[in-house]
Amino acid sequence: MASLKELKTRIGSVKNTQKITKAMQMVAAAKLRKAQQAAEASRPYSDRLNSIIVNLAGSMSDTAGGPELLVGNGKSDTVLLVVATADRGLCGGFNTNIVRKAREEIVALERAGKTVKLYLIGKKGYDQLNRLYGDQIVEYVSLKEERKLHAGIAQGIGEKITAMFEAGEFDVCKLIYSQFVNVMQQDAVSTTLIPAIAALEADNDAASNVVAPDLEGAIYTYEPDESGILRVLLPRNINTQIFSALLENQAGEMGSKMTAMDNATRNAGDMIDNLTMKFNRTRQAQITSELIEIISGAEAL
């Protein structure tokens, strides 16, 4: 049985831990509001850009002759998975869910005979996937040193991915990240970046949310032509989708961390109550034992 001193020390240690988890919960809650606002503010721009690309692609007489970023290069042998996770832990199953989704994609693609390459964003995803797929990692980006997410980060990543596609290093590119729903729910999702037309056709839910403009019978002539406009918009769309995914990840990470730290604070409170009860029972038993010894000694005299 633990002594009173050991129990008292342990209670103090758990109380200190509870103070830390409570402080981390409050910090995550403060950051969550800004992260959620940023993620929600990016969605209309991303949806509208998709709408423009859909309209341009639909007005082309020959879609097959469009830019390769739109229609692909005619092959799907090599797939690049861009996996975006957090750089820090202590956020429940947030990173694990994204990595699990990535592993499911890898297994499914390899069973289909595809070659899989990994472009990893975030240290936690790199640490987990490097153990099993270290030889398939072609690029790793850490955002730990970045004080704030900005469009320049996504632009650098997007330009690198576009250059790799143009160099023929892969045929299809998919982005895996966590979509923020609410504080309690963050869903790991996979979306196609290249070719863009595959993502627009597969994403029926997003397509239903995109409001096409009412032309009222008017006929629009594009200058330059649709293909020329798409060559400018498609790289920007890749950058936008990556930036939106990073903002969704940031909001999801803060929401998951707030929930995890709240649970940790509650568990610490329960542990303190149990240890305090054990401390009181041990102290009572010790006092009772001392009284019995005193009474026994007095009777012996």
Catalytic residue ranges:
91
Tell me if the bond preceding 235 is cis, omega within 30° of 0. Answer: no
Helix (H, G, I), strand (E, B) or coil at 164: helix
Eight-class DSSP state of 144: T
**Which of 146, 162, 143 has its CA nearest to residue 84?**
143
Report how far residue 278's alpha carbon sits from residue 275's, in angstroms, rounded to the nearest whole number. 5
- As a residue count, the chain comes to 301
Report how far residue 133's alpha carbon sits from residue 119's, in angstroms, rounded to the nearest whole number. 11
Report how far residue 14's alpha carbon sits from residue 235's, in angstroms, rounded to the nearest whole number. 51
Cβ atoms of residues 193 and 79 within 8 Å: no
End-to-end CA distance of the chain: 32
Report how far residue 65's alpha carbon sits from residue 72's, in angstroms, rounded to the nearest whole number. 10
Report how far residue 42's alpha carbon sits from residue 244's, in angstroms, rounded to the nearest whole number. 6
